[in-house]
Amino acid sequence: MLIQLLPTPPHPNVLFKITFDDLPDGLVLPQTWTMHLSNLMHDELPIPRFRHALDKASFLPCILEEVTFDIPAASVTCRFIDGSVEEWKIDLNGSQGRLGVKCLQTLECVVDDVRLSILEEERGKQREKEREREKEKERLKLLQQSSPSSSVKSTKHKKKRSLLMTIVSSLSSLKYVFSLVLRHHLN
């Protein structure tokens, strides 16, 4: 059974499907179900497609294909498995008016719940995308820090610094040597 809720625009339609899997073959049926099947065969009526149709607690999803709650039209339409269609207007003014208004309010609450659920799901997806972006930024940052090109650059920098220090220290030692040579020659 498909349940459709047609809200006032701009809200999207709400769809909900209820299905019961048929019981496996060879499973012993409850006594009342067996009695119902026997009565159907005795009266030469068709046997239902789904055995759940024999149970008064679960027969509705088995005999209804679709139920549509149309909020703007204030109506309920039921399409049965035999192809027949029934439609009822939701009474908003008559003797059952309070009940009809309450029904529409409840349907609007369902629409609001679905809308809030969609918004929360979108927020969750947005948060997940943001987390993924942050992870990607962090991963790129780590890659840049540990990449060979950055370590080569720092090594080259150290080599240049080392070369510079070598030149400075050699000049200092040359200066010392020159001062010794000059002293020696002057003495």
DSSP string covering the chain: -EEEEE-STTSPPEEEE---PPPPTTPPPPHHHHHHHHHHHHTTPPPPSSGGGGSTTT-HHHHEEEEEEETTTTEEEEEETTS-EEEEEPPSSSTTHHHHHHHHHHHHHHHHHHHHHHHHHHHHHHHHHHHHHHHHHHHHHHHHHH-HHHHHHHHHHHHHHHHHHHHHHHHHHHHHHHHHHHHHHH-
pLDDT beyond 90 at 77: yes
18 against 174, higher pLDDT: 18
The pLDDT tens digits for 91-107 are 888 777 688 889 899 99
Inform me whether the pLDDT recorded for 54 exceeds 60.
yes
The last residue of a domain, from among 79, 94, 109: 94
State the Cα–Cα distance between residues 132 and 117, nearest whole angstrom.
22
pLDDT for 50 equals 81
Q: How far apart are CA 124 and CA 117, in angstroms?
A: 10
Instruction: Report residue 44's pLDDT band, with 50, 70 and 90 as the boundaries.
Output: very high
Within-domain flag for 181: yes
Residues 25 and 90 in one domain: yes
pLDDT of residue 160: 54
Is residue 63 a contact partner of residue 53, using CB atoms and an 8 Å limit? yes
Q: Is position 173 within any domain?
A: yes
Final residue in a domain of this structure, among 31, 64, 94: 94
Q: Residue 75: which pLDDT band, with cuts at 50, 70 and 90?
A: very high
Check residue 170 and give its pLDDT.
Answer: 61
Angstrom distance (rounded) from CA 68 to CA 79: 9
Residues 10, 79 share a domain: yes
Q: In terms of Cα–Cα distance, which of 49, 41, 56, 54 is closest to 81?
A: 49
CA dist 146 to 46, 136, 140, Å? 75, 15, 10
Q: Mean pLDDT throughout 177-187? A: 59
Q: Is the pTM of this model over 0.85?
A: no
Q: What is the pLDDT of residues 7-28, one digit of tens each?
A: 988 888 899 998 888 778 888 8
The predicted-structure confidence for 135-146, as pLDDT tens digits, reads as follows: 888 888 888 887
Residue 141 has a pLDDT of 83
Last residue of a domain, one of 68, 94, 120: 94
The residue with tokens 């010392």 is: 176
Residue 151 lies in a domain: yes
87 pLDDT tier (thresholds 50, 70, 90): very high
Number of independent structural domains in the chain? 2
Q: What is the pLDDT of residue 95?
A: 74
Averaged confidence pLDDT in the chain: 82
